[in-house]
Every structure is written in C-alpha cells, then in structure tokens.
Structure 1
Amino acid sequence: MIVRIMGEGQFEVPDSLVDRLNELDNAVLAALDSSDETDFRVSLAALLAAVRAGGTAVDHDTLVPSDATLPYDEATVDEVRALLREDGLIPG
C-alpha cells in the first residue's frame, strides 16, 4: 500500500502493517466523532508515526498513485474530515 502524508511524501507500507493502521484510523475517527481535540491530536500523531516508522519512503522523483492520503501533523479537524472516505483515512 502507498500512503501519502500531505506535505511530506509517500511511503510504501507493508501489508503486515495495514491492520494496525486501520486500528489507528478508527481511533482518529472516534476522536472526530466525540469532538475530543486532545484524543484527535494523539490519535493522528500515532497514525502518522506508524506510517513513518513502518513504511519505506518512496523516492520523491518516483510518481505512483497513493492508496491513502493522510493529513499533515497540524491539520485541523475540518481538514481531516475533508479527507475522509467511506472507510476512513486508510482503506479497508
């Protein structure tokens, strides 16, 4: 899976990490639903950190389609809501 973090670049994420990313994605969604800004920030940071730690950066000169687009670290709740798909930020 290719995941883009806005303003940062793309990461190739192994299939073995997708379930964990979906768990973290669900935590972001729950924080959005409850309008809890603190939980939202913590959950978003955890999701982004998991992509950075478990994924491999795609060379900036390589153009490949992204399977998921994640917001940047300081994205607002409204910006994140605009990125949401039917199944959240991470497909699956």
Structure 2
Amino acid sequence: MIVRIMGEGQVRLPDARLADLNELDDELLAEMEKGDGPGFRATLQALLAKVHELGEPVPDDSLEPSDLILPTPDATLEEVRDMLSDDGLIPGT
C-alpha cells in the first residue's frame, strides 16, 4: 500500500501493517469529535511517525498512485475534519 503524507511524499506500507495504525486513527477521531486540539496534535504526530516507522519511503522520482492520503504534520483540526470519512483517516481498519 502506498501512503501519501501531504507535504512529505509517499511511504510504502505493507498491507498487513495497516491494522497497526487503527488504534491511533480511532484516537484521532475521538479527539476531533471532542475538539481536543492538543490531544489531536499529539495523536496526529504519533500516527505519522508510526507510518514512517512501519513503512519505507518511496523514491521521489517514482510516481505511484496513493492508496491512502494523510494530512501534513501541521494540519489543523478543521483541515483534517474535512479529510475524514466515517471510519477516520484510515478507512476499513
């Protein structure tokens, strides 16, 4: 699976590792629903760090379609809210 982090590039993440991100995605969704700005910021940073930890960067000269798009590390709560589906940022997990 190819994950794009807006403003950073792409990361190749094994499909089996997607479930590892589910807990953070659920946390992020709950913080957004409560309007918890500081919690949202910390969880977003943790989610993006986990993607980097579990995946491998896709070379900049490689153009591959992204299966999942995540917000920039400095995205606001409102910007991320606009990106969400009912399942959070990571659908189906």
- TM interval, shorter chain, is over 0.9
- Moved >3 Å (runs of 4+): none
Equivalent positions of 1:13-92 (< 5 A) are 13-92=13-92
What CA distance in whole angstroms lies between the structure 2 residues aligned with 1:24 and 1:56? 19
Aligned to 1:11: 11
Identity of aligned residues (%): 53
| Offset at residue 62 of structure 1 (A) | 1.1
Conserved? CA contact 1:67–1:91, under 8 Å: no
Given that 1:3 and 1:70 are in contact with CA atoms closer than 8 Å, whether structure 2 keeps it comes out as: yes
Query: Counterparts of 2:23 and 2:37 in 1: how far apart (Å)?
Result: 18
- What is the SS of the residue equivalent to 1:86? coil
SS at match of 1:87: coil
Distance 2:17 2:37 in 1: 26
Residues matched between the structures, number: 92
**Any stretches of 5+ residues in structure 2 without a counterpart?**
none
Matched residue of 1:73: which SS? coil
**TM-score for the superposition, normalised by structure 1:** 0.92
The gaps in structure 1 that reach 5 residues or longer are none
Shift of 1:15: 2.2
Instruction: Give the aligned residue type for 1:15.
Output: D
Query: If the length of structure 2 is used for normalisation, what is the TM-score?
Result: 0.91
Q: For the Cα contact (< 8 Å) 1:11–1:58, is it kept in 2?
A: yes
